[in-house]
Amino acid sequence: MTHKQPVLDLSPPVSDEIRKTTCYMCACRCGINVHMKANADGDMKVAYIEGNRDHPVNKGVLCAKGSAGIMQHNAPARLRKPLKRVGERGSGAFEEIEWDEALQIATDWLAPLRATAPEKLAFFTGRDQSQSFTSFWAQNFGTPNYAAHGGFCSVNMAAAGIYTMGGAFWEFGQPDWDHTKLFMLFGVAEDHDSNPIKMGIGKIKARGARVIGVNPIRTGYNAVADDWVGITPGTDGLFILSMVHCLMKAGRMDLDYLARFTDAPVLVNGDATSPEFGLLLRDEAGKQLVICRKTGKLTAFDAPGVRPDLSATHTVNDVTHRPVFHHMAEKYLSEDYAPEAVADRCGIPAARIRAIAAEIARVAFDEAFELDHEWTDFRGDTHKTMTGRPVSFHAMRGISAHANGFQTCRALHTLQIILGTVEVPGGFRFKPPYPKPATAHPKPHCGVTPGKPLDGPHLGFVQGPADLALKPDGTPARIDKAFTWENPMSAHGLMHMVISNAHAGDPYKIDTLFMYMANMSWNSSMNTGGVMQMLTDKDANGDYVIPRIIYSDAYSSEMVAFADLILPDTTYLERHDCISLLDRPICEADAAADAIRWPVVEPDRDVRGFQSVLCDLGARLDLPGFVNDAGGQKYTDYADYIVNHERRPGIGPLAGFRGAGGTNTGRGAPNPDQLDRYIKNGGFFAHHIPEGAQYYKPWNNAYQDWAVQTGLFDAPQPYLFSLYVEPMRRFQLAAEGHGEHQPPDHLRDKIKHTMSPLPIWYETDQQGNEGFKVTALTQRPMAMYHSWGGQNAWLRQLHGHNPLYVPPKLMRENGLKDGDWARVTSPHGEITVPVLEMAALNENTVWTWNAIGKRKGAWALDEQAPEATKGFLLNHLIHELLPPKGDGLRWSNSDPITGQAAWFDLKVTLSKAAPPTESKPVIPKQKSPVPKAPKSLAWKIQ
Amino acid sequence: MTELPKSTQKKLGLVIDLDTCVGCHACVISCKGWNTENYGAPLSDQDAYGADPSGTFLNRVHSYEIQPAEGAAQLIHFPKSCLHCEDAPCVTVCPTGASYKRTEDGIVLVNESDCIGCGLCAWACPYGAREMDQAAGVMKKCTLCVDRIYNDNLPEEDRIPVCVRTCPSGARHFGDLGDPDSAVSQLVKERGGVDLMPEQGTKPVNKYLPPRPKDRMPEIDVLAPFLAPVDQGAKGFLGWLDRTLDKL
Amino acid sequence: MHPAPSVIFFSTFSGLGFGLLFWLGLGWPSPTGLVAFVFFAIGYLLAVGGLIASTFHLGHPERALKAFSQWKTSWLSREAICAVAALILMAIYGAGAVFADQHWRVLGVIGGLLSLGTVFTTSMIYAQLKTVPRWHMPLTPLNFLSLSIAGGALLAGQVTWALWLIILAGGIQLATWIVGDGRFATSETTIATATQLGGIGQVRAFEPPHTGTNYLLREFVYVIGRKHSFKLRLIAIVLMAALPVTLLLMPFSHVAGGLAVLVHVAGVLTARWLFFAQAEHVVGLYYGKR
């Protein structure tokens, strides 16, 4: 019998139409092709989602979340209509109301606040990607209490980078994947740049380049690292500075780069009696001063032809002002940073520290190469080639979520900079609108006038004590106490402190808490149980301590149950959005790029895009910027805003297709066809940087000119990298008693100690941790990164519950085996959870996947769903405040510089527990505001 | 029909790089999405939002922890789908002829309209590559995206399996492993690609590229010259600095 | 492997039924009329009932006819053909015995051999599977055949044959267990060959691919405790062999004979449950369940 086989149709139709938009399953913002098929009734339905090959971010690839978008879009957990609370807060009892009523309620609550005390509205957004819009709304409302989730996410990473070099990792920049030969990756947890990092790792692995992972946990990217450094959590800064020590001691630095492009040669005021002691010497125009090695003269750093001298000092009146580089030598050549001195604390043998430092040096200097691109720097010096130093670094949230995270991130940038590998071929490259130094960013504003807009943008980069957000009486102006002496450089605000401060009425009471896409009653808060208590707590009169809560979300999340009014949002396929250059765009190192979302399908529920709702609410509240000259609603919806809003003349949310006919880029009048042009272009716009402008951007005239043309800034702004962060020294000076702005006495020592203008490492506050020796960490699985995901039928099969991963030593010590349950205790709380052994893990660290655990009744899941019975949150173990000190004060559990939530400072003990019926603590269920989910799925459009 | 073809014109298959797979599950879900909407019955899910969710997937990413005799433990992510074996035991056991191996390219497929859902092919497969769909009652398996790779409705560059197209780290490669000059064959040769469970005698077409040796960074002896101190102490360092700057 | 009741009942009862038909076909006994009807009815009830039970685990029983097509490679297809052939021939033969007082010997012998052949093809469905080392050995068909013939003899009232054959089947059953216990270890398949990662060091399955379960885990990764299985084996061998032999050695009575049949069947069902429950599929290696 011969072989027979059926005849197959090898060219079946794939779909009826492809609609290109932007993914929203995490913060990566990949381009997606949404394949649409007509069903039997002729309605176009989402059939399949794949990556868009033309898109600058993902170039066709797509992660698990992105491909599972169809399950997010169709999830039974989607809210269907505005909801008004009818039961007790937290219970989940709601009634559905019409939009008019919902908006009227919101207006009735908010209008009186605006008229009398705008600060009584606290408006915080979670993982949304429209912060330039939401902040604009909040600014026009007039409240100082606005921020997004950066404070509990990764402000250390962002702020340390911007203060040091005008940009950070993540969406600020990327390794030069095409040229790097050694890639060193720090920190637990995945990253905003999730697909680009994977693509990059794949690219360099294909070339056989080396990847070194520094991470207590060897999963994900660290699993493919050629060398794994299973560091003790919280000691990355010490390890990095030890490498800095080795490299400086061996003279393995790029001295030419340091002299030309950094503040290493800038002179530091050495007059110990001066109120400017430790500040940088500046000329009358405020320019930093260096000694020119050619002339030996004191001169402004950017004078044409000047050769800044790394070594020369400047003595006036017997006081010697030494360059930053001298201070660095003094600090880092100290034996305190010798590998032998740090090895035990870091959990890395001294020989290994030296080996890694040596390897970095070898690749940076002995494998250096030249790219044949001529370029001219800001001093007018022309360079025939671009020198490549093929070592690149990247860091993830892990190193930043410690109370020493800011300085640790700074240390890493210092390491990159002394190697001369930032903004050079083979190194780390910025993505427009970065590089952009801290001085080019706004400062924080908190000037409140009832009935008027705030006096400027809420968030920004302080340059010294004068910029803090303090009221005249010295108390915090903001509900989250951002930009106060407790955390002066809190550039992203402190969303994680809002509920606790509002509940405590400290620094003042608020009336309405308005939140968007932030699961604060669950995985996005420390001390989850406590937060739920605060949200439901009543005062002596029986009124809620936090009087009103408005919340917007697309899904039946845990936070929904705690709101008084729910404004249901759309899914990401039903909405307009812009991923804007005014915000966090999708640029690549060699292109400026932005993108849109547009409704590839219309909602089948009575829901509205939150930003469109804000346009409506803004008009009802008569907010400037949201009403037109006739007093009517200025922007009919968010799409209208995206196209027609101008932040500065000719500069709007989207840079592409501006001006009449859509021929302008960056600058140009609003173009009514702009969104259509984006849609035709695949949902994005990219504008490439000319070849000679692609590296050395902060100092490259060609780049600076291109950036001005593109509208990124209005005039060239070359600057030096700040190895020495002068604003920090200004805070130290205040703590030492200088100046009119003085910190409270109890914070003086802490400020003096932690605000070192050169990166340092310090042990985080261990008070209360006596006896708690094991570090407990969390990370999001790649398939759920930056999204909660429980409502997604496909993704929840991958990660439906989470064990606590425990290293062999701790398993043995506690008599544990796989499947056993352990009681995990911290100074703050206790949970009982299942354990699983993992050897590829720092021997003193346990960890789990974060935000898998769900509350019963949320996300349209069955009450017996494993997320609710076996899943758990470590959040219960973490308090937003540190244990009480002797003085009775409780300091926040965050970085003393930026206020970043110190999630990863958690210390615990373990002990074996009898298996409970479900993970503890058991949280009572919430009532679901959405109908029960179907039992089974077989998703085919036909 | 369940007789295996004596030979196939091509041996299309996947090469999976265990050195590069970061375990992100992108391939798993894109496969689920494509094959739910395309070839045959949709890949169903049972108790999708309930206490015991389970569904049909044609590709799953395992992970293994390896403890070398010396040094740190390693974690390897391990995607696994049908290996399109040359001697596919799943095909010959099929009583109805629903399972077959294509002569053109060696792809092993299930003709769902002939499948009685007896499950024997899944029993015969050592790799766990076949899953019975609980809603459709037919056996599902990787089709190597046979409805993509020749599909005139797709742009040429997209005529590859969806898992390969979506893989962010480029850990999956597709091609003709019967052609020694193909890119995939070359890759297998260079990197020492291996068969899974060779002793089962299935002769898998898909190959796995083993992880490169890890944690082998030379310790300080070899690299010492790269870190020889320029001088002792901060003072000596500044002297060296001055001398060096003169040379710049 | 998942001990699906349908397959356990199918293989046990069809084994018994075809065993009885085998003896009837050979003419031991050679009843006629009503007695023949009762014998054949029992044989057909068991054999056909078992076959019907086996379709319960099919996703699409309505397509079962297609299963006759692949006899060249598929033992399942061969089983189907063999079973139908045996049942047709034995039906003609039985009709002769019941209605015409005729024993068409050649037909009976061929039908009887085909009946046995059906049991053999059934056993080969399992024995052919390299993926289940415990089954992949000649003892598997011997186990099935010996139980079928012994049980058939018991049902056919061939007391002496039944006595010796039950002892033989019990012996083969013990051998099947003892040899089977070592099969997975001596098969060359390990987690190291499954992953090809053994060259780096000791391989251990870490996280499963999904926290949710799946078809493979339900179907192939059934784990039963060692202690538990020992007890069940004891029960199985006592019921399957020891008790029936004791009962047969006692002075003959229909009650004792009937009881012997019942305990034997209970024993075979237990053994068959263990046959599946204890069978380790190599795919379990990928899930760290071996």
pLDDT above 70 covers what percent of chain A? 99
**How much is the mean pLDDT over chain A?**
95
Instruction: Note down the domain range covering C76.
Output: 5-287
Nearest CA in chain A to B226: A358
pTM of the model: 0.96
| Residue C1 at interface with chain B, using a CB cutoff of 8 Å | yes
Q: Which residue of B has its CA nearest to A225?
A: B214
**pLDDT (tens digit per residue) in A457-509:** 999 999 999 999 999 999 999 999 999 999 999 999 999 999 999 999 999 99
Identify the residue whose tokens are 């005698």: B201
Residues A109 and A607 sit within 8 Å (Cβ to Cβ): no
Lookup result for tokens 């902060």: A698
Measure CB to CB from residue A838 to each of C206, C209, C211 and give the nearest one.
C206
Asked if A838's CB is within 8 angstroms of C212's CB, the reply is no
Q: Is the peptide bond before A275 cis (omega within 30 degrees of 0)?
A: no
* CATH number, domain containing residue B54: 3.30.70.20
In a domain, B57, yes or no: yes
B128 interaction partners in chain C (CB closer than 8 Å): 216, 220, 283, 286-287
Q: Is residue B108 part of a domain?
A: yes
Of the pLDDT bands very low, low, confident and very high (cuts 50, 70, 90), residue A171 is: confident
Torsion of CA C4, C10, C16, C18, to 10 degrees: -150
The token duo for A623 is 């907010």
Alpha-carbon span A294 to A287, nearest angstrom: 19
List pLDDT tens digits, range A767-823.
889 999 999 999 999 998 877 668 999 999 999 999 999 999 999 999 999 999 999
- Contact at CB, B126 and C283, closer than 8 angstroms: yes
Measured between beta carbons, the chain C residues lying within 8 angstroms of B54 are 212-215, 218
Tell me how far apart the alpha carbons of residues C15 and A536 are, in angstroms, rounded to a whole number: 68
Task: Give the minimum alpha-carbon distance from C77 to chain B in angstroms, rounded to a whole number.
Answer: 5
Which residues 61-120 of B have a C-beta within 8 angstroms of C? 61-69, 73-76, 78, 80, 89, 91-98, 114-120
By Cβ distance, the residue of A1, A797, A800 closest to C72 is: A1
**Per DSSP, what are the bridge partners of residue B59?**
B81
CB A697 within 8 A of CB A430: yes
Q: Strand A289-291 vs strand A298-300: parallel, antiparallel, or unpaired?
A: antiparallel
C-alpha closest to that of A282 among A758, A757, A731, A720: A720
What residues have CB less than 8 Å from B162, skipping those under 6 apart? A50, B30, B31, B33, B34, B145, B148
- Average pLDDT for residues A383-407, to the nearest whole number? 95
Count Cβ atoms within 10 A of the Cβ of residue C106 and give its class: 0-12 exposed, 13-18 middle, 19 or more buried: exposed
pLDDT at A176 over 60: yes
Q: Which of B61, B64, B123 sits opposite C195 (nearest CB)?
A: B64
Q: Tell me which residue in A3, A218, A841 faces B3 most closely, judged by beta carbons.
A: A3
Collapse the DSSP code of A262 into the 3-class scheme (helix H, G, I; strand E, B; otherwise coil) and give the result. strand
Residue A797 has its nearest CB partner, among C72, C207, C212, at C212
Contact B24 A64 (CB under 8 A): yes
- List beta partners, residue A664: A658
Name which of A75-89, A765-779, C5-19, C221-235 the model is least confident about: C221-235
Query: Mean of the pLDDT values across residues B180-186?
Result: 98
Backbone angles phi, psi at B20, to 5 degrees: -115, -20
**C-alpha pair distances (Å), C174 with each of A863, B58, C171, C185:** 47, 39, 5, 19
Count of structural domains, chain B? 1
- What does the pLDDT average to over C272-281? 95
Nearest Cα neighbor of A572 from A28, A39, A59 is A28
Using a CB-CB cut-off of 8 Å, the residues of chain B touching C125 are 93, 120
Residues A267, A280 contacting (CB under 8 angstroms): yes
Q: Please indicate whether, in this complex, the C-beta atoms of A800 and C207 are within 8 angstroms of each other.
A: no
Q: Do C203 and B66 touch (CB under 8 A)?
A: yes
Number of neighbouring beta carbons within 10 Å of residue A329:
23
Predicted interface score ipTM higher than 0.85: yes
Residues with Cβ within 8 Å of A927's Cβ and at least 6 positions away in sequence, in order, are A87, A91, A92, A93, A561, A857
- Buried residues in B199-213 as b, exposed as e (16+ CB within 10 A): ebebebbbbbbbbbe
Taking Cα atoms as reference points, which of C147, C76, C162, C74 lies closest to residue C116? C147
Q: SS3 of A731, please? A: helix
Which amino acid would we find at residue A901?
A: A
CB pairs under 8 A between B and C: 203
| Pairwise CB contact (< 8 Å): A860 & B147 | no
**pLDDT digits over C188-229, tens only?**
999 999 999 999 999 999 989 999 999 999 999 887 777 789
- A80 pLDDT higher than 70: yes
Single out the residue of C285, C278, C25 nearest to residue C148, CA to CA: C25
- Quote the pLDDT of residue B226: 78
Side by side, the strands of the sheet bearing B207-209 are B172-176, B12-17, B207-209
Are C211 and A800 a contacting pair at CB < 8 A? yes
- Per the model's pLDDT, the better-predicted residue between A322 and C228 turns out to be A322
Residues spanned by the domain of B80: 12-209
User: Does B120 sit within 8 Å of C125, measured CB to CB?
Assistant: yes
Identify the band that residue B221 occupies on the pLDDT scale cut at 50, 70 and 90.
low
What pLDDT band is residue B217 in, cutting at 50, 70 and 90?
confident
Nearest CA in chain C to B208: C196
Q: Which residue of C has its CA nearest to B113?
A: C63
The phi and psi torsions of B54 (rounded to 5 degrees) equal -160, 145
Q: Is the pLDDT of residue A1 over 60?
A: no
How near does any CA of chain B get to the CA of C186, in Å?
A: 12
Distances (CA, A) of C95 to C32, C34, C85, C110: 9, 11, 15, 15
Mutation to test the C interface, candidates A2, A71, A799, most C Cβ within 10 Å: A799
Task: Report CA-CA distances (Å) from C209 to A526, B28, C215.
Answer: 30, 10, 13
Interface of B with C in 213-242 (CB under 8 A): none
For residue B244, being part of any structural domain is answered with no
CB pairs under 8 A between A and B: 321
* 3-state DSSP assignment of residue C214: coil
3-state secondary structure of A700: strand
Contact A219 B214 (CB under 8 A): no
The amino acid at residue A344 is: D
Asked whether residue B103 is assigned to any structural domain, the reply reads yes
- In this prediction, residue A787 carries a pLDDT of 74
Overall average pLDDT of the B115-124 stretch: 96
Is B97 in contact with C69 (Cβ distance < 8 A)?
yes
> Within an 8 Å CB–CB cutoff, is residue B126 touching chain C?
yes
The closest alpha carbon to B211, from C198, C255, A385, A342, belongs to C198
In chain A, which residues have their Cβ closer than 8 Å to the Cβ of B217?
212, 226-227, 352, 355-356, 359
Q: At C180, which CATH number?
A: 1.20.1630.10
Residue of A228, A779, A797 to mutate for C, most C C-beta atoms under 10 A: A797
Tell me how far apart the alpha carbons of residues B170 and A200 are, in angstroms, rounded to a whole number.
Answer: 9
pLDDT tens sequence across C79-137: 999 999 999 999 999 999 999 999 999 999 999 999 999 999 999 999 999 999 999 99
Cβ neighbours of B248 (radius 10 Å):
10
Q: Which of residues 1-20 of B touch C (CB under 8 A)?
A: 1-3, 18
Distance CA(A218)–CA(A573), nearest Å, equals 35
Q: Between chains, do C219 and B122 touch, taking CB under 8 Å as contact?
A: yes
State whether residue B192 sits within 8 Å of chain C by CB: no
Are the Cβ atoms of B20 and A12 closer than 8 angstroms? no
- In angstroms, the CA C254 to CA C157 distance is 10
Domain count, chain C: 1
The H helix count followed by the E strand count for chain C is 11, 1
Bridge partners (DSSP) of residue A512 are: A121, A548
Q: How do residues B47-80 score in pLDDT, each as one tens digit? A: 999 999 999 999 999 999 999 999 999 999 999 9
- Which residues of chain A lie closer than 8 angstroms to C289, CB-CB? none
Angle between helix axes A745-754 and A726-735 (nearest 10 degrees) is 150
Strands, DSSP E only, in B104-161?
Answer: 108-110, 130-132, 139-141
Kind of pairing between the strands at A375-376 and A821-825: unpaired
Q: In what order do the strands lie in the sheet with A31-38?
A: A17-22, A31-38, A44-51
With H, G, I as helix, E, B as strand and everything else as coil, classify residue C257.
helix
E strand residue ranges, A535-670: 548-553, 565-568, 577-579, 591-597
Provide mean pLDDT across the span A537-556: 97
Whether the Cβ atoms of residue B94 and residue B121 lie closer than 8 Å to each other: yes
- The answer to whether residue B91 sits within a structural domain is yes
